[in-house]
Amino acid sequence: MELCDRSAHELLDLLRSKEVSAQEVVQSSLQRIAAVDGRPGSLDSGEETEQDRGTVHAFISVTAEQALEQAKAIDQQRAKGEPVGLLSGIPFSAKDVFCVKDTYTTAASKILANFKAPYTSTAVERLQKQGAIMLGKVNLDEFTYGSSNESTAFQPCPRNPWDTSRVPGGSSGGSTASVAAGEVPFSLGTDTAGSIRQPAAFCGVVGVKPTYGRVSRYGIIAFASSLDCPGPIARDVTDVALMLQAIAGADPHDSTAANVPVPDYLATLEQGVKGKRIGLSPDYFQISYMDTESGEIHQKPVQEDIRAAVYHIAEVLRSMGAEIIEDVPMPNTRYGIPAFFVISRVEAASNLHRYDGVKYGYRTPSTEDDLRVMYRKTRNEAFGLQPKLRILMGMYVSAAQYSEQYYNRALKVRALLRRDFDQIFDPQRKYRLDALLTPTTPTTAFPIGAIYGDSVLMQYADQFTVTANHAGIPGISLPGGIASDGLPIGVQLLGPDYSEHTLLQMGRSLEIGTQDEAWRTQKPAVLR
């Protein structure tokens, strides 16, 4: 097995025992990138080529030299017997919304293509402090707006390593693709409606959306400030636990990062699921979709092999000692996307106000005598369609005359969504669940170009994941099978606030319980 395909915890063992050097680890990752990633995303990419269609394009920028230098320094420290960090020598990629000092942080948008942050986000800083080595920035939907990664201004957009005619999911598509393709052992993503979990499901990797406020948002280009959660993506649960351990915890730079102690996630990882109460809800096996003609929302059952995979996982967990409780009602699930349309757009529009060509980023090259014209031209020339769509919707539903009808109502619905979870997790009530088991996504990865353009359909790809963002609770997506179309199926576990240790534990049990299943031997197409 190549070094780059090993998990981070295996690599740490090899590094500690000096069987391999950090430089070898980094070299292996760089070689994999060279072999499968193809062109990195860029603003002036020109026409798509045949080669483009067969490669992954996870990265926007690879900082190979710095990475090798850092690896060299770590090797020297190890050689001298000096103490090294807990993640020393492990390469990672960061979604290009994480500001890292002296690197370009583009948010996959023309408006920030030339922006070099003078400071580093807390999450990246904590990883670097533990000796993890950033290989580069990975691609995403522009400003994290999307569920397919197609909207990036840095084309070619990332492709799903399992089938490069398909999307990797979004908005952390570059993150999950880089991990699935063995380019890095783990990646930092962000999740606002499912942007870690959905692409993790599509790419057959593990992704965690931590509790809101568990990980600092300082230094992350914001989408919806009350919903954004930075989180880890890796190929197995132990790695995700390692990464979360390093980044979680309060931060004096973030007023919403809670003062809750971070448990030792690894210590409890192998404790199993005996006696754990895991629920299944029929509301997560019905897909809502909009009839484009009538505009009405209808429901249909989820794809059969996805349903079957989730139920199979339930069986596996039951055989390991968990109690499975069916028919758990989550009546407000279907309102998750409509409420998200309102709340996230209001915050997004406001968060995008600062991109005006005055202080950083793109400014229109046409010389203007009127500041107002400069604003308009700058924003029009440099924002893609998705940001424009969100800005306009945000303006509309927060306008004084509509805000009661839309924004305030959506906030109340968010409270209802939270209540659904409070009630099933409440130890004093009927269900007293430790977790809810659901499909992560309504479908497997869809083809590139199949949905892009239909913004409603695209947003509904997040219908099973967005509820956790509204409620603030944590969720994990794990590989749970391969569908009849050969594409990964993700299963999701949702738990109460700050229950990441329990979710990781369950995820680890799921991993152990399915480790001999046939689908686990299958590999992404780019690696065959």
Catalytic residues: 95, 171, 195
Q: Does 134 bind another protein (CB under 8 A)?
A: no
Q: Whole-number minimum distance, CB 12 to another protein, in Å?
A: 29
Measured from the CB atom, the residue of 372 and 528 that comes closer to another protein is 372
Measured from the CB atom, the residue of 212 and 265 that comes closer to another protein is 212
- The half-sphere exposure of 197 on its side-chain side, counting CA atoms within 13 A, is 34
Measured from the CB atom, the residue of 354 and 523 that comes closer to another protein is 354
Which residue among 212, 223, 284, 452 contacts another protein (CB under 8 A)?
A: 212
What dihedral angle (degrees, nearest 10) is formed by the CA atoms of 58, 64, 66, 70?
A: 90
Which residue among 165, 388, 423, 450 contacts another protein (CB under 8 A)?
A: 388
Q: Whole-number minimum distance, CB 280 to another protein, in Å?
A: 22
Residue 206, H or E segment: strand 206-209
Q: Does 97 bind another protein (CB under 8 A)?
A: yes
Measured from the CB atom, the residue of 217 and 276 that comes closer to another protein is 217
Please tell me the distance from the alpha carbon of residue 1 to that of residue 99, in angstroms, as a whole number: 33
Q: Does 9 bind another protein (CB under 8 A)?
A: no
- Give helix then strand counts, H and E, for the chain: 16, 13
Q: Under rule CB under 8 A, which residues in 140-169 are in contact with another protein? A: none
Measured from the CB atom, the residue of 267 and 385 that comes closer to another protein is 385
Measured from the CB atom, the residue of 68 and 416 that comes closer to another protein is 416
Q: Whole-number minimum distance, CB 296 to another protein, in Å?
A: 8
Q: Does 392 bind another protein (CB under 8 A)?
A: yes
Q: Whole-number minimum distance, CB 4 to another protein, in Å?
A: 29
- Which residues have C-beta within 8 Å of that of residue 62, sequence separation ≥ 6? 30, 33, 40, 135, 136
Q: Does 66 bind another protein (CB under 8 A)?
A: no
Measured from the CB atom, the residue of 401 and 521 that comes closer to another protein is 401
Q: Does 215 bind another protein (CB under 8 A)?
A: no
Q: Under rule CB under 8 A, which residues in 100-129 are in contact with another protein? A: 105, 107, 112, 115-119, 121
Q: In what order do the strands lie in the sheet with 488-494?
A: 59-62, 133-138, 91-95, 186-191, 229-234, 206-209, 475-482, 488-494, 435-439, 277-279, 323-325
Q: Whole-number minimum distance, CB 470 to another protein, in Å?
A: 5
- Which residues have C-beta within 8 Å of that of residue 80, sequence separation ≥ 6? none
Using an 8 Å Cβ cutoff, are 488 and 201 in contact? yes
Please tell me the distance from the alpha carbon of residue 3 to that of residue 30, in angstroms, as a whole number: 11
- Which residues have C-beta within 8 Å of that of residue 285, sequence separation ≥ 6? 301, 302, 307, 310, 438, 439
Q: How far does CA 352 lie from the centroid of its chain?
A: 21
Give the residue among 482, 68, 510 at the shortest CA–CA distance from 306.
482
Q: Whole-number minimum distance, CB 353 to another protein, in Å?
A: 2
Stretch that binds another protein, among 300-308, 358-366, 476-484, 509-517 (CB under 8 A): 358-366
Site string for another protein, 227-266 (x = CB under 8 A): -----------------------x-xxxxxxxxx------
Q: Does 273 bind another protein (CB under 8 A)?
A: no
Which residue among 26, 314, 393, 436 contacts another protein (CB under 8 A)?
A: 393
What 8-state DSSP symbol labels residue 405? I
Q: Does 359 bind another protein (CB under 8 A)?
A: yes
Q: Is 172 helix (H, G, I), strand (E, B) or coil?
A: coil
Q: Under rule CB under 8 A, which residues in 325-344 are in contact with another protein? A: 332, 334-335, 337-339, 341-342
Measured from the CB atom, the residue of 159 and 209 that comes closer to another protein is 209
Q: Does 225 bind another protein (CB under 8 A)?
A: yes
Please tell me the distance from the alpha carbon of residue 211 to that of residue 104, in angstroms, as a whole number: 28
Q: Whole-number minimum distance, CB 423 to another protein, in Å?
A: 13
| Residue 50: burial class (beta carbons within 10 Å; 0-12, 13-18, 19+) | exposed
Q: Whole-number minimum distance, CB 147 to another protein, in Å?
A: 14
Measured from the CB atom, the residue of 112 and 483 that comes closer to another protein is 112
Using an 8 Å Cβ cutoff, are 84 and 74 in contact? yes
Q: Under rule CB under 8 A, which residues in 403-462 are in contact with another protein? A: 403, 406-419, 453-456, 459-460
Pairing of strands 133-138, 59-62: antiparallel
Q: Which residues pair with 155 in a beta bridge?
A: 42
Q: Under rule CB under 8 A, which residues in 504-523 are in contact with another protein? A: none
Please tell me the distance from the alpha carbon of residue 128 to that of residue 121, in angstroms, as a whole number: 11
Q: Whole-number minimum distance, CB 262 to another protein, in Å?
A: 12
